[in-house]
Amino acid sequence: PRVPQEHKAKVTTLERSVAQAKTRYSVALRNLEQISEQIHARRLQRLILRRASPVGAESNPHPAVPEGEVTTAAAATATTGTRLGTECPPGDTLSVLSLQTIASDLQKFDS
């Protein structure tokens, strides 16, 4: 009689742990979706602004890059070993790093 009670208690504990993990996973997925939506909104905004910017002689062929963006791209290179700024606009680099961190955390929970 004692062994089934111990097994039942263990199963209950495991079920509770699984429920908590599912909740954390769900919250993390929602956060990822929000970050992704923010990135897409920023890219769309930049695309719209880029189309509205001057053309030809009025445009600046070499716009100045704000110091923070250079630092962000350099930080991405140091952190990941790849220059994320070349694949996406430098302002999105931190968002990409956030996504990578969350994905890494989710993989740890899955293992």
Does 83 have pLDDT greater than 60?
no
The string of pLDDT tens digits covering residues 9-63 is 999 999 999 999 999 999 999 999 999 999 999 999 988 888 776 666 655 555 5
Does 81 have pLDDT greater than 60?
no
Q: For residues 45 and 92, what is the distance between their CA atoms, to the nearest angstrom?
A: 12
Which residues neighbour 97 within 8 Å (Cβ) at sequence distance 6 or greater?
76, 79, 80, 84
pTM of the model: 0.43
Which residues neighbour 84 within 8 Å (Cβ) at sequence distance 6 or greater?
73, 76, 77, 93, 96, 97
pLDDT for the residue numbered 69: 44
